[in-house]
Amino acid sequence: MPMSSYYQELRQKIGTDLIFSPAVAAVIRNDIGEVLFVKSREDHLWSIPAGAIEIGETPAQAIRREVWEETGLTVRPLRILGVAGGRDFRWTYPDGNQVEYLTIVFECQIESGELTAMDGEVGEFRYCDSSHLPPQQFPYPPTWFKSDHAGPAWFDGSP
């Protein structure tokens, strides 16, 4: 989905300056434990399905919306794998807009749907084994992608 009206109005006021943005991301596994990655049409980078939380939206609502917009899949969030943020989660978009994400990463289960780029932002889908991950836009902990990951939620370098 293109930038929401909230972020458009904010950008009109502050230009491309760095903003802080709450976000969500989804680790979605297929039946054999591979993780779904999406490749952006705009910058050709791989990532897990993700996006900003909109005003008035809960994180769980946001992850269901973002996954559907990017993949055409309806998912159910199962648990929080962790929270990621800081300098490593800063991004400058091709239009110059700068953002630092604070991202809640959910493990999600597919309920229905077929892989289809609903919003036009995704150019390619790929399921990957945790031992053969594509280069990613953000440095999520590799343990999150292991099919047997059952550890506690991760926060800023914790287990």
Structural domain of residue 55, as residue ranges? Answer: 5-134
In angstroms, rounded to a whole number, what is the distance separating the alpha carbons of residues 93 and 112? 32
Count structural domains, the chain: 1
Q: What is the pLDDT along the chain (159 residues), one digit of tens a residue?
A: 568 899 899 999 999 999 999 999 999 999 999 999 999 888 788 999 999 999 999 999 999 999 999 999 999 999 999 999 999 999 998 899 999 999 999 999 999 999 998 888 898 999 999 999 999 999 999 888 987 766 667 666 655
pLDDT for the residue numbered 158: 55
Reading phi first (left if > 0) and then psi (alpha if -120 to 50, else beta), residue 106 is in beta
pTM score, whole prediction: 0.91
At 36, which CATH number? 3.90.79.10
In angstroms, rounded to a whole number, what is the distance separating the alpha carbons of residues 49 and 66? 7
Is 109 a domain residue? yes
Is 154 a domain residue? no
CA-closest candidate to residue 147, choices 131, 125, 135, 159: 131
